[in-house]
Amino acid sequence: MNFPQDLKYTKDHEWVKIDGDIATIGITDFAQKELGDIVYVEVETVGETIEAGEVFGTVEAVKTVSDLFMPVTGEIIEFNEELEGSPEMVNEAPYEGGWMVKVKITGDLPGDLLDAASYAELVGE
């Protein structure tokens, strides 16, 4: 499974790419495989400021529905509109076209973000 080195990860299986004070967020390759075919990504929190660990949206697979958790505290500034019509991008390219939201980071980064190696260990890779 693929866990890029330049990303940080959460125990809830989100990845976050930090670029200055902007974070791009999605779910990991492990998560998309576990969930199966993603058929709907619902994010209705654009414009809201959400604490790390809180729910910012929902991802629905054919069989399951799961909450999406903020890896960092910040304001949701953009939702990946491509996912409206092509939610399968999350399966096909979880770290590229399958990104979900961009966030303007407002607080300190949480201390429990994992690096690629620690996350791989967490999911037994």
Partner 1 sequence: MEDQIKKIALNDLHVSLGGKMVPFAGFNMPVRYSSDNEEHLCVRNGVGVFDVSHMGEFFVEGPHALELIQKVTSNDASKLVVGQAQYSCFPNETGGIVDDLIVYKFSDEKYMLVVNASNIDKDWAWVNKYNTMGAKLTNASDEYSLFAVQGPKAIEAVQSLTPVNLTEVKFYHFTVGEFAGVKDVIISGTGYTGAGGFEIYVKNEDAEKVWKAIFEAGKDFDIKPIGLGARDTLRLEMGYCLYGNDITDTTSPIEAGLGWITKFTKDFTNSEAIKKHKEEGVSRKLVGFVMQERGIPRGHYPIVDAAGEIIGEVTSGTQSPSMGVGIGLGYVKTEFSKPGTEIFIQVRNKNLKAQVEKLPLLKG
Query: Which residue in the set 12, 54, 58, 116 belongs to the binding site for partner 1 (CB under 8 A)?
Result: 58
Residues 26-55: x where in contact with partner 1 by CB under 8 A, - otherwise, as a string: ----------xx-xx-x-------------
| Beta strand ranges found along the chain (DSSP E) | 8-9, 14-19, 22-27, 38-42, 49-50, 55-61, 65-69, 74-79, 101-105
Cβ atoms of 23 and 103 closer than 8 Å:
yes
Interface with partner 1, residue 12, by CB under 8 A: no
Q: How far is the CB of 57 from partner 1 (least distance, A)?
A: 10
When asked if residue 1 is in the footprint of partner 1 (CB under 8 A), the reply is no
Two structure tokens written together for 83: 């996912």
Element (H, E) at 32: helix 29-35
Interface residues with partner 1 (CB under 8 A) are: 36-37, 39-40, 42, 58, 60-63, 65, 91
